[in-house]
Structure formats: C-alpha cells, structure tokens
Amino acid sequence: MNLLEIKNLGISFGGLRAVDDFNLTIREGQLYGLIGPNGAGKTTVFNLLTGVYRPTTGKIFLKGQNITGKSSIEINKAGIARTFQNIRLFKNMTVLENVKVGLHNRENYGVISSLLKLPGYRAAERRIEERAMELLQVFSLEEDAHHLASNLPYGKQRKLEIARALASAPTLLLLDEPAAGMNPQETAELMEMIRFVQKKFDVTILLIEHDMKLVLGICEEITVLNFGCLLAQGETASVLKDPRVIKAYLGD
C-alpha cells in the first residue's frame, strides 16, 4: 500500500522555484532515499512535508489522507516525524525529558489535572517515564538519561533526535542527513541502527543523505533532485549509475 504520495509538488520563493513538479510515492515499510547536490531542494521537500512551508502547487497524501497545507502539529498527529540536518535538541533539558516531550501527545491529561495531581496524571506520567526509558534503552542512551542533552557527544545527540522523533509514534520518519559529521565507523553503526529501527518500530523511513555508501547500503529506492527538479527515480544501484546523475554530481 502507498504510504506517502506526492503529486506535482512545487514551491516558489519570489521568483525562485525551489522545488518544481516533484512526484514521489513511498510504499509502507520502505526505506527510501532522497539525494541530490547541495541546494537541490531536498530539505525544502522535508519542510513542505512537515508543514514548515505551504506548497504553492501540488498535493501530499499520507495514507490516502490529504495533508497539503496542514499545520506542523496536525501533520505530526497524522503520523510524520522528522530529525534536522543541524541538530535541534532541547539543549537545556535532560536526555530523558527530550524524549518525554516527544511523547507529549500520546497522553492527554489537562493542565488542571496536573495542577491537582489527579490519579490520572500520576498514571500517565508513569507510562510516559516507562516509554521514554524503553526508547532510550533501544538507543543505548539510558546511562545518559539524566544528563543535559547539550552535554552529549555529537553521535549520541543524533541518536537522541531519532529517539525523540520516534517517541511521537510516527508512521513515516524523515531523517535529514543522519550521517552528517560522522566518521566511517559511526556511519556503519548508524546504518545498522536505521535498519533496526525500521523493523523494531515498524516505521517507513525517508532519508536525505550525501554519504553514497550509506544510501547504497540501506535504501531500496532513491529519488535524485537537481535544481528543484526530479532528475531520476528508481532502484538505488541503477539510479546511481545513471549518467545524468553522475553529471549532476561531478559536472561534465
């Protein structure tokens, strides 16, 4: 079944067409890659998908439901969560609290019941604590649970961001350059982790990446963007051999 369908998506900033006539279909359970040279519009696509920008043309469907032009909050509730190219953690909160914020909408006790500490509040807080610790264990961050997020080393910050995104129980997880700034060994570990996460949380993943080894290693299919336009689409290995793709990356 198709989880995500993007049809003729486009956005212009003034006279600049940042993304133009972009089409993409992702099936449930896929690990999909989105690549392209710098400035191709990859992150813009993510921003369109998560409601940061409103598309000027085109439509986005998640599980057949039209989510075009909806707010980030509604889109998150519909089932999309993301990480950021430049890590955006809640730096002055602990690692555990970061994940707990991700669990925000999984419990819905009101302000009053938190002020009066009603029984419902206590039970919900206990569930939140348990779930958050479980998530941290999956990413082997439980030792750091009570450290400030800003004190984590870079690799762990990346992991925490993924854990936090998964906490909101998405069906589609968007990873924006998860391997940026990592050495080859860390990247290899990350590849394993992404595969593991996809199985464990039964989530579909769309990722932007520049590390071709990683893309070739885990993505079944990819889409290549160049200057906001779709350049090539299909099975990873064959797309990467496409002369147009090589030309876009390396020039003539």
Partner 1 sequence: MKNDIVKSEKKSNITGSSLLIRILVVVGIYALVSALMLTGNMSRSWESLSIRICFNVILALSLNLVVGFLGELSLGHAGFYAVGAYAGSMFAVYTDFPMFVRIIGAVLVGALSAGIAGFLISSSILKLKGDYLAIVTLAFGEIIRSFVKILPGTGGTAGLSGIPAFPSRYVGFTFAYAFVILTLIILKCFINSRHGRAVTAIRDNVISAEMLGININRYKVTVFVIASVLAGVAGVIFSFFKTMIEPNDFSYNLSIEILVMVVIGGMGNLTGSIIAAGVIVVVPELLRALEDYRMLMYAIVLIAVMLINESPKKAQFIERYSPKVLLKKLLRKGEKKSESA
What does the binding site for partner 1 look like in residue numbers (CB under 8 A)? 50, 52, 72-73, 76-77, 81-82, 84, 88-93, 97, 100-105, 107, 109, 111, 114-117, 121, 124-125, 128, 164-165, 167-168
Give the SS3 label for residue 251. coil
Burial annotation 195-220 (CB, 10 A radius, 16+ → b, else e): eebbeeeebbbbbbbebeebbeebbe
Which lies closer to partner 1 via its Cβ, residue 34 or residue 99?
99
Which lies closer to partner 1 via its Cβ, residue 174 or residue 193?
174
DSSP 177: S
CB of 184 to partner 1, least distance (A): 28
Which lies closer to partner 1 via its Cβ, residue 127 or residue 200?
127
CB of 169 to partner 1, least distance (A): 10
CB of 241 to partner 1, least distance (A): 35
CB of 77 to partner 1, least distance (A): 5
Q: Which residues pair with 232 in a beta bridge?
A: 224
CA 120 to chain centre: 32
Residue carrying the six token digits 């290693």 = 217
The total of other beta-carbon atoms located within 10 Å of residue 117's CB is: 10
Which lies closer to partner 1 via its Cβ, residue 124 or residue 232?
124
